[in-house]
Structure 1
Amino acid sequence: MSRIFHEAIWQIDDGLYTPEQKSAWSPKPRSAYHWHKRLTRSRAWLVVDEAIIEASRPICCGFINVETHFKSRGYIDSLYVRPDYQHLGIAHRLYLALEQWSLGQEYPNLTVDASLLSKHLFLTHGFTVQHRSYQEKSGQVFMGFLMSKTLKGLTTS
């Protein structure tokens, strides 16, 4: 997951996020400990390419996770796809799995701080922009969009 996260960020076009912003966002791949802590209070889905074996293991192509505890319940924390697997519908499939599970959990809504890159995907899936959001990382400011989608009333069929 760490490698996917890092590589996906560095693949983003410099017109959306500058090299300085990408360096602040992910200066290097994060530790397994970081990801363990980050995923402790969430549910995650992975897409795996079993046709390609790397070190006797299938390659993880992408992942998504949603927070499951406290006030952040239903907050989509991460959605990243390896650069060589982008534009193949993986992010779409990951999101649909997350939404289906969330419906089964009777979550009333989903929220996400979408990046400039992911905004379109979430709009396609019925999210609406609540407002622009800004985050600061290592002195760099990132503009994004706080988005939400009401699940109440959707069916799980």
Structure 2
Amino acid sequence: MSIRQGNPEDLPTILTLFKDTITFVCKKDYNTNQIEAWKSGADNLERWKKVMKEQLVLVAEIDHKIVGFCTLDQKNYIDLLFVHKDHQNLGIASILYNLIEKEALEQKNLPLTADVSKTAKPFFERMGFHVLSEQTVNVKGVDLINYKMQKDLLT
């Protein structure tokens, strides 16, 4: 596996990975309407172009195929962390996360924060995050529960 910085040409693959991961991995925590509403975020191409341009985007590749990605916004907010449905539980998310955390530490922009799905909450807890609050986010008229989480990094 290799890790590299993402580029605009990766966007179609990243969007497919985003939708597939939500569809297949998050279905144990969210119902069909919630999944469809959440996936609709992939339709906002302007937002995704902004992510690719303004955030630190790391992608994980196996055999030149993107199998995961993680983004860091404003040097201390993990905006996105997704791993391909066929590559779950292989340590890919941990590797991506550790690189993002290292970048945040170098920038001294602490603490790290993230808005985390029910599905991702156990992973973030293992990485040392704690829940600040449970949130209800309305997407296209559908309520989704997620968690505002934070990790206090030591310098």
Deviation at 1:45, TM superposition (A): 0.8
Whole-Å Cα distance in 1 between the matches of residues 61 and 18 of structure 2? 15
Contact 1:111-1:147 within 8 A present in 2 as well: yes
Counterparts of residues 19-38 of structure 1 (less than 5 Å)? 19-27=32-40, 29-30=42-43, 33-38=46-51
Given the alignment of the two structures, is residue 59 of structure 1 paired with residue 74 of structure 2, yes or no?
no
Match of 2:140 in 1: 138
**Percent pairwise identity:** 27
Give the TM-score of the pair, scaled to structure 1: 0.83
Which of these residues, 88, 91, 96, is aligned with residue 89 of structure 1? 91
Whole-Å Cα distance in 2 between the matches of residues 29 and 91 of structure 1? 20
SS in 1 for 2:119: coil
Tell which structure's C-alpha radius of gyration is larger. 1
1:13–1:44 distance in 2 versus 1, CA, 3 Å: closer
1:89-125 deviation line (CA, Å, top 9, x unaligned): 1111110010011111111211011100111111111
Counterparts of residues 44-123 of structure 1 (less than 5 Å)? 44-50=57-63, 58-68=64-74, 73-123=75-125
Contact 1:2-1:31 within 8 A present in 2 as well: no
Whole-Å Cα distance in 2 between the matches of residues 139 and 99 of structure 1? 34
1:139–1:118 distance in 2 versus 1, CA, 3 Å: same
Gaps of 5+ in 2: 1-13
Backbone CA RMSD of aligned residues: 1.7
Match of 1:2 in 2: 15
Give the TM-score of the pair, scaled to structure 2: 0.84
Deviation at 1:27, TM superposition (A): 4.0
Deviation at 1:150, TM superposition (A): 1.1
Deviation at 1:34, TM superposition (A): 4.3
Whole-Å Cα distance in 2 between the matches of residues 31 and 126 of structure 1? 31
Number of residue pairs matched by the alignment: 142
1:40–1:13 distance in 2 versus 1, CA, 3 Å: closer
Match of 1:124 in 2: 126
